Amino acid sequence: MTGDPVVEPASTDRGAERRDRLAGLLQDAREGRREAMNLIVADLTPLLWQAVRRQGLSRQAAEDAIQTTWLTLLRNLHSISAPHALIEWLLTTARREAWRVKAAGRDDELMGQDVFEEMPDADSLPEELLLQDERRRTLWNAVARLSQPCRDLMRLVAFVHRPHYDAVAASLGMPKGSIGPTRGRCLAKLRRLLAEDSGWMAP
């Protein structure tokens, strides 16, 4: 990956660092080092969680889908050699496992399409959701006003660093290469909504 143009200093440094770390861990895990696998699991489970919850799974069903995703990975670990391939493989598999869980009827406590439909009114959110923070509530309200596809995309992109957008496309069932333009449009819309809100000030 050397020779990439440095176009986004902030994210490129951060993304590249994470990618290098993940590449090293993946190599170690393929050689059978348990500790490396544990670190990969800790690193990527939050992304998988958001991805399967976005598909409308209950928390229990989401756990099932994520457990079987990681177990399925073990068999395929030898064929996956790069972090972007790993992330894409995991998101694609998690999407399929989530479908399976739904098809098996393991999702009897289905909570709805996404958390926004469960909790449409920010003013009535329970405190334990940690949205009492004014700034976060403002963001929540703005994100809630995005279209569902924009919201889904923002949710996943926020958990994935830039070079891995093919993986996001796989999880959302969007064409590769469409993530960038759509992300730009959704972010612009979100920032416009935030700019209109007096509760929001640029950090």
Partner 1 sequence: MDGAMRPSDEHEQPQLDAADLSVLDEIKAMYSAVDPVPATLVDRLQFALDLESYEIDVLRPYEEVGPAAGARGGEEARTITFDSDDLTIMISASVQNARTVRVDGWLAPPGDHLVELRTSEGPITVRADDQGRFVMDAVPRGLAQILVRQALDDPREARILAVTPSIVL
Residues 107-146 that bind partner 1 (CB under 8 A): 115, 129-131, 135-136, 139-140, 143
Q: Any contact of residue 175 with partner 1 (CB under 8 A)?
A: no
Which residues from 28-67 bind partner 1, rule CB under 8 A? 34, 37-38, 41-42, 45-46, 49-50, 53, 59, 63-64, 66-67
Return the DSSP state at 3.
T
Q: Are 58 and 111 in contact (CB under 8 A)?
A: yes
Site string (72-111) toward partner 1, x via CB under 8 A: x-xx-xxxxxx-xx--xx--x----x--x---xxx-----
> Taken in order 3, 174, 72, 106, is the CA torsion positive or negative?
positive
Q: What are the Cα distances from residue 37, in Å, to 41, 50, 75, 152? A: 6, 20, 13, 28
First to last CA, the chain: 32
**Smaller CB separation from partner 1, 84 or 171:** 84
> What secondary structure letter does DSSP report for 108?
T
Instruction: Give the distance from CA 165 to its chain's centroid.
Output: 10
Task: Say if residues 196 and 140 touch (Cβ distance below 8 Å).
Answer: no
Interface with partner 1 includes 24 (CB under 8 A)?
no
CB of 124 to partner 1, least distance (A): 14
> Would you say 10 or 196 has its CB closer to partner 1?
10
By beta-carbon proximity to partner 1, the closer residue of 75 and 198 is 75
Smallest gap from residue 166 Cβ to partner 1 (A): 6
DSSP states along 136-171: HHHHHHHHHTS-HHHHHHHHHHTTS-GGGHHHHHHH
CB nearer to partner 1: pick between 27 and 198: 27
C-beta closer to partner 1: residue 21 or 77: 77
State both tokens at 54: 């976005």
Candidates 184, 192, 197, 201; binder of partner 1 (CB under 8 A) is 184
Q: Binding to partner 1 (CB under 8 A): which residues in 144-163?
A: 154-155, 157-159, 162-163
Residue 201 interacting with partner 1 (CB under 8 A):
no
Q: Which DSSP letter does residue 173 get?
A: T
Output the smallest distance, CB 76 to partner 1, in A: 9
